[in-house]
């Protein structure tokens, strides 16, 4: 069992990991300051559930379109510089949202969210591929739990505060906070001393060749391929459900941006708690960790079944938290598996491909579910998504069980 001491030791004894972790914490908090007011802005402007869901799709789509480029960049160039440049560019982008009211319409915030997603498409593969190079091999599992839980913690904090600031102060204040967090993140990353990739992996290769090699690598490795399908398959359901948060808040509970923030915050709390709890129970055994991924996805489905029946915002938020305890565990454990089972030479491209598949699923799910919400009762739709999530998780666990038994 993994106790608290391993996390304390990792954060106190590894300055480079601590800087990368703090940069992620601060930047993610700002991300959720951004998303909550943008979703509210688009929904109020358009009064369309599809338009609100399109915010999630717009943020995710660049990762799919840019996957061949971002993965090759993460393997060819200095990953630390990629992270810094991505932060600086995104700071400028979100500041431009201060002009959203003057410009009017929904096209401008959707454009900026898309460009911000493009910056994230460069950031994520470089950061995920670089993590194994700043921690010792025996600490990689705990480092992934901390990184994944950082996403959940800052979603809980950032979404709640983003909804609060947007409601009580202004949406412009939330946009400004987001820009500042990106700049702080860039400063922290600039102080990382260890290289984020092996020195002999920096030799340039053609983009098409690099992408083809990465796809061949994934296709030839059944465990890597299975983990790639877990994230994409789970995102086909979860992306669309998350895109309904604003609609659920506004339409079912009449809670506005504040209610949207509560639901996103509950999602973050679940993502925070789930990986820590699961890692503490299972310990560092890769076989046991990866064998749990399918069941974690099924837990997500059970949670959203409960959301569909929740009579109040508080109970809906509780069900969302339970659901994303499973979803967060799935994400943390599958990411850990990809890092352990992929070589540094291909790791950036593997994670770009993973990010691309994941975001393709999110885009499709957000648009399809957003469209269905126009004609299907919201509660019935949430129950259906939960049932699909349970079925996919259990089937995936059954089909892949022999892969993990061999580890």
The Cα–Cα gap between 267 and 181 comes to 21
pTM score, two decimals?
Answer: 0.74
The Cα–Cα gap between 227 and 346 comes to 15
Name residue, tokens 């992934």.
144
- The predicted structure's pLDDT at residue 316: 95
The per-residue b/e assignment along 92-108, b for 16 or more CB within 10 angstroms, e otherwise, is ebbbbbeebeeeeebeb
3-class SS of residue 176: helix
- The predicted structure's pLDDT at residue 162: 64
Q: Which two tokens stand for residue 319?
A: 């069900």
Digit-by-digit pLDDT tens for the chain (407 residues) are 455 578 888 888 899 999 999 888 877 776 666 777 777 777 777 767 667 667 767 777 776 778 778 877 888 888 999 999 999 999 999 899 888 777 777 788 888 888 888 888 888 888 888 888 999 888 888 888 888 777 667 766 766 666 666 666 677 777 888 888 899 999 999 999 998 887 654 444 455 665 676 677 777 788 988 998 898 888 887 777 887 887 888 888 888 777 877 887 788 888 888 988 998 888 878 899 999 999 999 999 999 999 999 999 999 999 999 999 999 899 889 989 988 888 877 787 788 778 777 777 877 887 788 788 888 998 999 999 999 999 999 999 999 999 998 87
Q: Which two tokens stand for residue 184?
A: 């702080």
Fold of 7-405: Growth Hormone; Chain: A; (1.20.1250)
- The predicted structure's pLDDT at residue 108: 86
Name residue, tokens 């506005």.
256
- The predicted structure's pLDDT at residue 152: 66
Q: Which two tokens stand for residue 169?
A: 């102060």
What are φ and ψ of residue 204, in 5° steps? -70, 145
């Amino acid at each position: 069992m993994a106790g608290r001491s391993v996390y304390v030791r990792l954060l106190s004894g590894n300055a480079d990991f601590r800087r990368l972790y703090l940069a992620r914490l601060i930047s993610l908090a700002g991300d959720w300051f951004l998303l909550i007011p943008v979703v509210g802005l688009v929904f109020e402007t358009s009064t369309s559930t599809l338009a609100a869901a399109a915010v999630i799709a717009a943020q995710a789509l660049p990762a799919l379109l840019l996957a061949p480029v971002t993965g090759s960049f993460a393997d060819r160039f200095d990953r630390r510089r990629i992270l810094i440049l991505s932060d600086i560019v995104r700071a400028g982008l979100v500041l431009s949202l201060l002009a959203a009211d003057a410009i009017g319409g929904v096209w401008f915030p959707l454009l900026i969210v898309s460009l911000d997603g493009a910056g994230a498409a460069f950031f994520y593969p470089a950061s995920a591929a670089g993590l194994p190079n700043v921690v010792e091999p025996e600490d990689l599992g705990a480092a992934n739990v901390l990184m994944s839980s950082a996403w959940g913690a800052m979603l809980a904090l950032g979404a709640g505060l983003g909804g609060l600031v947007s409601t009580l102060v202004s949406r412009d204040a939330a946009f400004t906070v987001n820009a500042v967090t990106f700049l702080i993140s860039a400063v922290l990353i600039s102080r990382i001393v260890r290289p984020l990739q092996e020195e002999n992996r920096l030799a340039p290769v053609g983009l098409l060749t690099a992408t083809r090699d990465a796809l061949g690598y994934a296709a030839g490795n059944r465990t890597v391929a299975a983990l790639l399908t877990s994230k994409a398959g789970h995102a086909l359901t979860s992306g669309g459900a998350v895109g309904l948060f604003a609609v659920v808040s506004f339409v079912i509970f009449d809670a506005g941006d504040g209610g949207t923030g509560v639901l996103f915050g509950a999602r973050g709390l679940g993502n925070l708690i789930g990986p820590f709890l699961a890692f503490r129970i299972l310990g560092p055994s890769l076989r046991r960790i990866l064998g749990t991924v399918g069941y974690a996805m099924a837990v997500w489905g059970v949670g959203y079944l409960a959301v569909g029946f929740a009579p109040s915002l508080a109970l809906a938020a509780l069900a969302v938290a339970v659901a994303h305890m499973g979803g967060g565990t799935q994400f943390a454990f599958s990411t850990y598996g990809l890092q352990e089972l992929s070589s540094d030479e291909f790791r950036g491209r593997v994670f770009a491909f993973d990010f691309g598949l994941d975001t393709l699923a999110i885009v499709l799910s957000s648009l399809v579910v957003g469209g269905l919400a126009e004609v299907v009762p919201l509660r019935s739709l949430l129950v259906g998504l939960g049932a699909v999530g349970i079925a996919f998780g259990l089937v995936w666990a059954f089909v892949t069980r022999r892969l993990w038994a061999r580890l």
